[in-house]
């Protein structure tokens, strides 16, 4: 009954998360760091709700809800379809693991007074990401993008030391440039079409875009630059390594795994409409994205190889993986888009797991340099096994989720008659192996340092919630690798609904 | 000639694009952090100018029905578009919050380094071992 009410009134979920976000400082005051468990319960609730939605929605169905019952060209329209529900499940599911992890880990990184506020910011971020995913209205999209931007910056700076402050300044300035471009693009869209609702924009563009060829070009480019800066595609990735490596561990996992993907979904929503307009190919934006994504795949991996700080290496690895997602989007065949959406899930799970293991290693040994990890597989076997599984998944070995996405991406590039990208994917995977394998090798096969007191098998000395969430994410990566049909069922429907991207 | 006439007739759009470019340039080129924040504001304000210019039509009345008119006269009156103004209000709130947040961060950076010039901060970072 309640689920059905939520199904036909989707903003209720965002509201529930927002209400709990505002309660968090109070709970933090009286419960201390235990408030994190309540935040995790909220994320778990939204996860369960989105799973139930996934069974409720039928193929190709779009549940539309107009806020306050205005007619849709003036009111704010919210849409629930396969893509939306899939992304909601990804966001809330990974958030559940991250929040569980953050309860013990945040005590070391954030001062006592700010713990309640930390969960406020996190739930704000989650609700705003839900908003980006669900909304069908351009200006509403902009507002949610801004909420995500500000709360993500605040999640970095809450560590309150020198490095995180600098990283936040860089992040905020570039985010502001991106917002300016995005808002200008929205303004130009409104100038041409006179609508902000994406469906109406679609109908108007079919009529009016012939009169403004160069303005269409400008709009497409502005959206691309705005979302590109926020989603850290290769030439615009300057802020990402700093912000993602200097943040608290839980924030790093959320920023790398979820926030960037929310922006990518925003880009997909907007381009899905713009690509159906005539004159879209006039801008040659697909070729531009292809080139930039290829540069990101290779360049990000190279940059990751020369980093010696573990979290920075993971952050540059994120840049490479974002290249994969954009590559799938720009190839535009069914398999490539499927690969993109699957990669969003795979990268979210695996990168969150890797950041969490990095945080656990720092928690126990205070070690951040990748060259000093020898013999760690004996000191923290469970954590390091999770790290190994996640690394192998990143490289894309069979049995793990990374293999499935790369397989679909390769099939997609063959469908699009671009065989060179198959070679690129293989090269990028080998580069991934180049910077992940040494860590794994050191941990399990190198002798520990000479001054180490003893070198037997020990059990990890980190709190239980941290252990549970890392292990669950690692197991989930294997689960996707073995049974890809469960996520693929809903992804296939989501891809079939994206009329704008598909050539054939 | 045609193009120049169009530009003069639609001068708000032209001004907003110039301001947008200037703001973007200031963010990227100025080394002073406060000036960078000013650049953000110039950029966002230029977009607001663009929105307002979109909604405005010369010689039309604001979208408020006057009590002195009969209903037929009010229906025949031509009004400007109120929607861009509503969007600009929201945009101003967002811009203000970003500005406030950025100023707080700059204040913190001043506490750490004793300067708000990014070149000097870079020098200090390269000299000191943290």
Question: Quick one: three-class SS letters along A378-427?
Answer: HHCHHHHHHHHHHHHHHHCCCCCHHHHHHHHHHHHHHHCCCCHHHHHHHH
From residue A379, alpha-carbon distances to A81, A310, A455, A473 in Å are: 46, 18, 8, 21
Q: Which residues of A touch B45 (CB under 8 A)?
A: none
Average pLDDT over residues B73-82: 85
From residue A340, alpha-carbon distances to A66, A127, A406 in Å are: 29, 23, 9
For A456: left if phi > 0, alpha if psi spans -120 to 50, otherwise beta; the answer is beta
Q: What does the pLDDT profile of chain A (504 residues) look like in tens digits?
A: 788 888 888 899 999 999 999 999 999 889 887 888 999 999 999 999 999 999 988 887 888 888 887 787 788 899 998 999 999 999 999 999 999 999 999 888 888 888 999 999 999 999 999 999 999 999 999 999 999 999 999 999 998 888 899 999 999 999 999 999 999 999 999 999 988 999 899 888 888 888 888 888 899 999 999 999 999 998 899 999 999 999 999 999 999 999 999 999 999 999 988 887 777 777 788 888 999 999 999 999 999 999 889 999 999 999 999 999 999 988 888 899 999 999 999 999 999 999 999 999 999 888 888 888 887 888 888 999 999 999 999 998 888 999 999 999 999 999 888 889 999 999 999 999 999 998 888 888 877 665 555 556 677 778 898 999 999 999 999 999 999 999 999 998 888 888 777 654
| Alpha carbons A378 and B74: distance in angstroms, whole number | 82
Tens digits of residue pLDDT in B87-116: 999 999 999 999 999 999 999 999 999 889
Which residues, in sequence order, are CB contacts of B71 under 8 Å at separation 6+?
Answer: none
3-state secondary structure at position A77: strand
Asked if A172's CB is within 8 angstroms of B105's CB, the reply is: yes
Of B20, B106, B112, the CB nearest to A184: B20
Whether residue B120 has pLDDT greater than 50:
yes
Looking at residue A504, its pLDDT comes to 42
- Scored b (16 or more CB within 10 A) or e, A32-50 reads ebebbebbbebbbbbbebb
Q: With the C-alpha atoms ordered A370, A372, A375, A380, is the resulting torsion angle positive or negative?
A: negative
Contact A109, A248 (CB under 8 A): yes
| CA dihedral of residues A288, A316, A238, A159 (deg, nearest 10) | 140
In this prediction the pTM is 0.93
Q: Which two tokens stand for residue A148?
A: 């995500």
Q: Which residues of B touch A177 (CB under 8 A)?
A: 24, 27, 40, 43
Asked if the C-beta of B53 comes within 8 angstroms of chain A's C-beta atoms, the answer is no
Closest CA to B48 of A194, A229, A146, A183: A183
| Alpha carbons A230 and A253: distance in angstroms, whole number | 17
Q: Which residue of A has its CA nearest to B90?
A: A143
| Alpha carbons A434 and A442: distance in angstroms, whole number | 13
Tens digits of residue pLDDT in B10-60: 889 889 999 999 999 999 899 999 999 999 999 999 999 999 998 888 888
Contact A56, A7 (CB under 8 A): yes
Looking at residue A448, its pLDDT comes to 65
% of chain B surpassing 70 pLDDT: 98
Looking at residue A456, its pLDDT comes to 65
Looking at residue A455, its pLDDT comes to 58
Q: Which residues of A touch B130 (CB under 8 A)?
A: 162-163
Kindly state the helix (H) or strand (E) to which residue A365 belongs, with its residue range: helix A334-365
Asked if the C-beta of A172 comes within 8 angstroms of chain B's C-beta atoms, the answer is yes
Contact A116, A106 (CB under 8 A): no
Q: Which two tokens stand for residue A442?
A: 């050191």
Of A143, A150, A183, the CB nearest to B47: A183
The single residue listed with the structure tokens 């992040």 is A171
| Alpha carbons B120 and A463: distance in angstroms, whole number | 42
């Amino acid at each position: 009954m309640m689920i059905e009410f939520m199904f036909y009134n989707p903003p209720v979920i965002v509201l529930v998360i927002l209400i709990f976000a505002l309660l968090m400082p109070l709970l933090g005051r009286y419960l201390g760091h235990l408030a994190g468990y309540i935040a995790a319960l909220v994320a778990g609730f939204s996860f369960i709700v989105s799973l139930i939605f996934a069974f409720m929605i039928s193929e190709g169905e779009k549940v539309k809800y107009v806020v306050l019952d205005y007619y849709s060209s003036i009111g704010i329209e919210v849409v629930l379809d396969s893509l939306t529900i899939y992304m909601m499940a990804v966001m809330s599911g990974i958030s559940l693991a991250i929040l569980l992890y953050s309860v013990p880990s945040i005590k070391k990184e954030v001062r006592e007074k700010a713990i309640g506020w930390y969960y406020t910011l996190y739930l704000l971020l989650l609700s705003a990401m839900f908003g980006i995913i669900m909304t069908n209205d351009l200006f509403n999209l902009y507002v949610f993008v801004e909420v995500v931007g500000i709360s993500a910056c605040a999640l970095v700076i809450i560590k309150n030391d020198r490095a995180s402050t600098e990283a936040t300044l860089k992040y905020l300035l570039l985010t502001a440039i991106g917002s300016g471009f995005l808002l200008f693009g929205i303004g130009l869209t409104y100038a041409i079409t006179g609508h902000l609702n994406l469906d109406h924009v679609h109908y108007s563009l079919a009529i009016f875009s012939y009169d403004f060829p160069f303005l269409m070009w400008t709009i497409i480019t502005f959206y691309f630059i705005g979302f590109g800066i926020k989603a850290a595609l290769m030439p615009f990735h300057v802020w990402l390594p700093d912000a993602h490596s200097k943040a608290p561990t839980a924030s790093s996992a959320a920023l790398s795994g979820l926030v960037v993907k929310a922006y990518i979904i925003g880009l997909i929503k907007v381009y899905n409409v713009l690509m159906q307009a005539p004159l879209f190919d006039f801008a040659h934006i697909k070729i531009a994205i292809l080139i930039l994504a290829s540069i990101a795949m290779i360049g990000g991996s190279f940059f990751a190889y020369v980093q010696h700080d573990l979290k920075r290496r993971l952050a540059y690895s994120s840049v490479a993986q974002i290249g994969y997602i954009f590559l799938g989007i720009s190839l535009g065949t069914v398999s490539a888009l499927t690969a993109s959406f699957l990669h969003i899930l795979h990268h979210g799970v695996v990168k969150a797991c890797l950041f969490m293991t990095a945080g656990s290693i720092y928690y126990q040994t205070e070690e951040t340099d990748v060259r000093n990890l020898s013999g760690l597989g004996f000191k923290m076997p469970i954590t390091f096994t999770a790290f190994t599984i996640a690394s192998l998944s990143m490289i894309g070995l069979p049995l793990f989720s990374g293999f499935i996405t790369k397989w679909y991406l390769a099939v997609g590039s063959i469908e699009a008659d671009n065989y060179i990208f198959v070679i690129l994917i293989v090269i990028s995977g080998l580069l991934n192996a180049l910077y992940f394998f040494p860590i794994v090798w050191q941990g399990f096969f190198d002798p520990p340092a000479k001054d180490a007191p003893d070198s037997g098998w020990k059990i990890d000395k980190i709190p239980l919630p941290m252990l549970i969430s890392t292990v669950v994410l690692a197991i989930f990566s294997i689960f996707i690798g073995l049974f890809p049909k469960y996520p693929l069922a809903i992804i296939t429907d989501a891809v079939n609904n994206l009329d704008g991207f598909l050539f054939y | 000639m045609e193009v120049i006439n169009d530009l003069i007739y639609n001068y708000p759009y032209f001004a907003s694009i110039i301001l947008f470019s200037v703001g973007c340039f200031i963010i990227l080129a100025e080394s002073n952090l406060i000036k960078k924040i000013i650049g953000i504001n110039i950029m966002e304000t230029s977009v607001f100018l663009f929105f307002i210019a979109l909604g405005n039509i010369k010689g039309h009345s604001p979208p408020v029905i006057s009590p002195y008119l009969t209903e037929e006269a009010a229906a025949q009156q031509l009004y400007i578009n109120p929607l861009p103004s509503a969007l600009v209000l929201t945009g101003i709130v967002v811009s203000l919050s970003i500005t406030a947040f950025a100023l707080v961060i700059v204040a913190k950076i001043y506490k750490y380094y004793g300067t708000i010039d990014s070149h000097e901060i870079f020098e200090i970072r390269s000299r000191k071992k943290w």
